[in-house]
Amino acid sequence: MSENKPEAVQDWPNSNEFWKNKRVVVTGGAGFLGTFVVKKLRERRAAEVFVPRSKDYDLRDLTVIRRLFTQVRPHIVIHLAARVGGIGANQAHPAEFFYDNLIMGVQLLHEAWRAGVSKFVAIGTVCAYPKYTPVPFREEDLWNGYPEETNAPYGLAKKMLLVQSQAYRRQYGFNSIFLLPANLYGPGDNFDLESSHVIPALIRKFIEARELAKSATESANRQGAVIPTVTVWGDGSPTREFLYVEDAAEGILLATERYNDSQPVNLGSAFEISIKELVETIGRLMGFEGRIVWDTTKPNGQPRRKLDISRAKQLFGFRASTPFEEGLRRTIQWYQSVLSSKDQKPGVAWGETRIVVCVKST
């Protein structure tokens, strides 16, 4: 590994030159992260970008993968396709989260090697880290314990890509890399309350609480305004790290261009925020003037989550550039524009608006 070489003297390739003649397959390229990866590939003028959609290419099926490689003959595969979901979904479908992610990854990487692909980019998850790890999470500690139980089948299935990457490099000299992004946020995120991350869940809940209070005030017929209320699980003390989705896409492309080893590399923002501060910040940016209630009978979850990001900076010069509040503003604006373009109000139900503050296990 070229880890000791200072950043300034690295002879990294020119981005546009690198992609000029490359045919690239981006699995999951129509998903949240994939959309930004594909956009950036087009900006860098990659010769061809192919996105296999799951309805046409179910990547759990070996014959489908072989058909994909025969048809496209890619130079590079960026593997983002995954079965992802929140803690609830992970708890309800642990077998599917394990099987789908493992089988997609193991067959895709193997077939990429067989097909003579020149580089395979595998995406892991912060959920692959042990439940108890010193903060900031360092790549060296990745194997020092079992992951948090609720997302272990998902986290471990994806972690096998790291083992496979290292084994295939050692035996066959196959060039693959393994990146571990922090929790992502940004426009295009999943706002479904059943499976969303904490940031979209909060944005949606603030809007719903306001709508709910407005309807209740109107029904109360001048008996006083109803104050919008949002309830959040826990006491707000846990901290989390969030990476803006476009920064994550940039990190993935820089790693693809510049990094050729199988040591795992974190992709983070180095920005750690408590859930309490997160709730207050989103509320402030959205002009929320209601009440926030902390339900301390509910669990807090892992006390801190933050990645050590020095390896990514050193090995391929990646540093996240989007300030957190700016990223939040863009996310809020995007969701509001989706709502107004659909001329659709978020569903409002009577009763208390409740948010489960847990970080989706991706």
Chain-centroid distance of CA 197 in Å reads: 9
Are 271 and 327 spatial neighbours (Cβ–Cβ below 8 Å)? no
SS3 216: helix
Stretch that binds ligand NAP, among 77-85, 88-96, 107-115, 202-210 (CB under 6 A): 77-85
Q: Could you give the CA distance from residue 185 to residue 187 in angstroms, rounded to a whole number?
A: 7
DSSP 232-248: EES-S--EEEEEEHHHH
Contact call for residue 37 and ligand NAP (CB under 6 A) = no
Contact call for residue 362 and ligand NAP (CB under 6 A) = yes
Query: 10 Å Cβ neighbour count for 221?
Result: 7
Q: How many residues bind ligand NAP (CB under 6 A)?
A: 26
Beta bridge partners of 272: 241
List the one residue from 68, 184, 232, 279 that touches ligand NAP (CB under 6 A): 184
Would you name the residues annotated as active-site residues?
154
Contact call for residue 83 and ligand NAP (CB under 6 A) = yes
| Shortest Cβ 264–ligand NAP spacing (Å) | 13
Contact call for residue 153 and ligand NAP (CB under 6 A) = no
| Shortest Cβ 174–ligand NAP spacing (Å) | 20
Nearest to 261 by CA among 165, 160, 335: 165
List the one residue from 80, 89, 203, 279 that touches ligand NAP (CB under 6 A): 80
Nearest to 142 by CA among 37, 263, 249, 44: 263
Contact call for residue 266 and ligand NAP (CB under 6 A) = no
For ligand NAP, the closer of residues 60 and 210 by Cβ is: 60
- Residues 6 or more apart whose CB falls under 8 angstroms from that of 121 comprise 76, 77, 78, 79, 176, 177, 179, 252, 255, 256
For ligand NAP, the closer of residues 200 and 228 by Cβ is: 200
| Shortest Cβ 297–ligand NAP spacing (Å) | 28
Residue with CB nearest ligand NAP?
31
Number of Cα atoms under 13 Å in the Cβ half of residue 92: 8
Contact call for residue 60 and ligand NAP (CB under 6 A) = yes
Contact call for residue 82 and ligand NAP (CB under 6 A) = yes
Contacts for 69-72: CB closer than 8 Å, 24+ residues apart: 69/111, 69/112, 69/114, 69/115, 69/117, 70/115, 72/23, 72/25, 72/48
| Shortest Cβ 219–ligand NAP spacing (Å) | 38
Stretch that binds ligand NAP, among 57-65, 107-115, 291-299, 349-357 (CB under 6 A): 57-65
Name the site residues for ligand NAP (rule: CB under 6 A): 27-28, 30-34, 53-54, 57-60, 80-84, 100, 123, 125, 181, 183-184, 197, 362
